[in-house]
A = this chain, B = another copy of it.
């Protein structure tokens, strides 16, 4: 588009969009036909001279969502735009996840949930009465070894209460010290029944953690910093439902994995609705591992993460 055409397009756009004139009127005013006006408007939009944006905390990026679905064979994707100011992204992603959860059809009777800061936020912003009579099951161990115990249970309970249903907790440590202890616990009738209920869930909601010193597992005392360093050295990028995976989505340390209580990755991969919620720049690598290895069927994330996933050379 040469300069004079561009300038004309600007004038046309001003009269049409800011002055609310019809294309006919604009044409008469500038001495051109209404068809030319229409064509100039199209070109102005394509050239980005006219920018139409939807400014709302709960807006979504449908084009990016489609790309994610296509590229990774996802059932669905929800991408939230980045806030303009120095606002946080995680509340927006959490809100989007809550909205998505409330809109899942068929309505999940049984919902398997993981825990963590992200899911906590989701539970908090979930609308009261988002469904009726849901059965929420915790899918991985979540009793903390230090002060912050209870948040894992809190997440599941909140989601259940707001869905006018009930929560079934898995009140055991996420990672045990001995394989034998883990096996013994899993043989326990109560625990086994919770695991079975979890396995039968029609939808799962979970997030991921980054492998590093700030991991929740270090924080809550299941792993030492050096344990995590070892995992990273072996290629770990983060954890999903307590299990550490590498960039290909494979278990990094099978011995550790044997001591980890909760749903298996294959169960997630086989699930109808495996809703993966992830926000923030630190989690791009884990997110990529999860998405490329088919660990989720639905992703809820922010635009920056989505672009990071898509930029990867195919």
Stoichiometry, copies per complex: 2
**Complex CA–CA separation, A61 to B13 (angstroms):** 11
**A10–B59 contact, CB under 8 A?**
yes
Is A304 part of the binding interface, using a Cβ–Cβ cutoff of 8 Å?
Answer: no
Contacts of A48 in B (CB 8 A): 55
Q: A64 to chain B: closest CB distance in Å?
A: 10
Is A172 part of the binding interface, using a Cβ–Cβ cutoff of 8 Å?
Answer: no
Find the B residue at minimum CB distance from A54: B13
Q: What sequence of 0s and 1s flags, for each residue 1-36 of chain A, a beta carbon within 8 Å of any chain B beta carbon?
A: 000001100100111011100000000000000000
Q: A98 to chain B: closest CB distance in Å?
A: 12
A105-140 contacts to B, CB under 8 A, are none
Is A60 part of the binding interface, using a Cβ–Cβ cutoff of 8 Å?
Answer: yes
A93-112 contacts to B, CB under 8 A, are 99
Find the B residue at minimum CB distance from A59: B10
**A62–B18 contact, CB under 8 A?**
yes
Is A145 part of the binding interface, using a Cβ–Cβ cutoff of 8 Å?
Answer: no
Is A265 part of the binding interface, using a Cβ–Cβ cutoff of 8 Å?
Answer: no
Q: Of B10, B53, B54, B59, which one neighbours A58 at CB under 8 angstroms?
A: B10
**Complex CA–CA separation, A54 to B45 (angstroms):** 9
**A49–B55 contact, CB under 8 A?**
yes
**Complex CA–CA separation, A48 to B53 (angstroms):** 10
**Complex CA–CA separation, A287 to B180 (angstroms):** 84
**A51–B49 contact, CB under 8 A?**
no
Q: What sequence of 0s and 1s flags, for each residue 232-276 of chain A, a beta carbon within 8 Å of any chain B beta carbon?
A: 000000000000000000000000000000000000000000000
Is A52 part of the binding interface, using a Cβ–Cβ cutoff of 8 Å?
Answer: yes
Interface residues of A (CB under 8 A from B): 6-7, 10, 13-15, 17-19, 44, 48-56, 58-63, 99
Q: List 20 A-B contacts (CB under 8 A).
A: A6-B56, A7-B58, A10-B54, A10-B56, A13-B54, A18-B54, A18-B62, A19-B63, A44-B54, A48-B55, A49-B54, A49-B55, A49-B56, A50-B52, A50-B53, A50-B54, A51-B53, A51-B54, A51-B55, A52-B52
